[in-house]
Amino acid sequence: MAGQVANTHGGSSASRPGPPAAERLAGLLRDSGCTVALTGAGVSVPSGIPDFRTPGEGIWEKVDPMEVAHIDAFRRDPARFWGFYRQRLRMLGEKEPNDAHRALAELERRGLLEAVITQNIDTLHQRAGSERVIEVHGSIRTSSCQSCGAAFRLEAVEDLFDEGGAAICPQCGGDVKPDVVLFGELLPADAIAEAEALADRADLMLCVGSSLEVYPVAGLPSVTLRGGGRLAVITRGPTPFDSDAAVRMDGDVVADLDAVLAAL
Ligand code: ZN
């Protein structure tokens, strides 16, 4: 933030007539010494991964994620938990990155983006080429034995299921759990600390595909604003930070990011 004294932000710039939002954001990206992206489910929707908060979509339609994807549900009955989560893991593992993931990877390649902080567990940012990705909700990349700590890559998990449908550690017989943050679990402290440090240092935070309502992601834009940085919010639907955003785009996330890349 050093040297940036006239860093104004607030609602005025969002509604002020001027160049199209994509060009304004391209200008902010060029001027920013440190830009960090913060992404949520909306980035992966074009890859065919429904946002579970969207009613009536996909496999979350028939279940309450707060109940079935809760750490207590796993501890009580791992086979029942896996009866649901096995299908989710397989589904997520088959998805491919889309152009929104690729646009963020391209910004990093061009030296315009320091890191991606994501709530998504699907690993699609890395598969699109992003190098520095902070996963605040963990990921499907590995699953771990809750007794001995042995870790198993996504491809190996299918081999762990017993006849009852629970994933069992071949080394100690313990229960294996995906390394994603389930409801009721603590967030990974290292990832949270890194995300907060980045948010604090950012001249510009690019909030993409998130309603910015779920902790910890909901707290990070405020950290950037307090440090004198600006926000760009690219997502469909309202967020609590719309009036604070220097740039607000609410169209298709792929088209919006493509427009920003084209304007650079
Ligand atoms: Zn084990």
- CA gap 111, 6 in Å, rounded: 24
> Residue 250: which domain range?
1-49+98-137+187-264
Query: How many domains is the chain built from?
Result: 2
Q: Which residues touch 193 (CB under 8 Å, ≥6 apart)?
A: none
pTM of the model: 0.89
Ligand 1 center to residue 186 CA distance, Å?
A: 21
Supply the pLDDT for residue 65: 72
Supply the pLDDT for residue 19: 62
- CA gap 185, 189 in Å, rounded: 12
Average confidence score pLDDT of the chain: 90
For residues 120-132, average pLDDT = 98
Residue 115 sits in the same domain as residue 3: yes
Residue 161 sits in the same domain as residue 264: no
- CA gap 47, 97 in Å, rounded: 6
Strand ranges (E), 25-137: 35-39, 115-118, 133-135
Residue 33 sits in the same domain as residue 102: yes
pLDDT of 54 above 70: no
Supply the pLDDT for residue 16: 44
pLDDT of 59 above 70: no
pLDDT of 62 above 70: no
**DSSP classification of residue 230:** E
- CA gap 104, 107 in Å, rounded: 5
Catalytic residue among 70, 101, 125, 137: 137
Could you tell me the pLDDT band of residue 5, with boundaries at 50, 70 and 90? very low
Residue 113 sits in the same domain as residue 37: yes
Last residue of a domain, one of 180, 210, 238: 180
**Which residues are registered as beta bridge partners of 87?**
none
Reading the block at residue 111, the tokens are 């030296």
225-235 tens-digit pLDDT: 999 999 999 99
For residues 6-12, average pLDDT = 40
Residue 158 sits in the same domain as residue 253: no
Residue 62 sits in the same domain as residue 175: yes
Supply the pLDDT for residue 58: 55
Supply the pLDDT for residue 61: 59
Last residue of a domain, one of 122, 152, 180: 180
| Strand-pair category, 35-39 with 133-135 | unpaired
Residue 38 sits in the same domain as residue 157: no
- Whichever domain contains 172, its CATH number is 3.30.1600.10
Could you tell me the pLDDT band of residue 56, with boundaries at 50, 70 and 90? low
pLDDT of 64 above 80: no
Ligand 1 center to residue 74 CA distance, Å?
A: 16
137 catalytically annotated = yes
Residue 120 sits in the same domain as residue 69: no
135-167 tens-digit pLDDT: 999 999 999 999 999 999 999 999 999 999 999
- Whichever domain contains 256, its CATH number is 3.40.50.1220
Ligand 1 center to residue 260 CA distance, Å?
A: 47
Burial 120-131 (b: 16+ CB within 10 A, else e): bbbbbbbebebe
For residues 204-212, average pLDDT = 96
Residue 160 sits in the same domain as residue 243: no
Ligand 1 center to residue 258 CA distance, Å?
A: 45
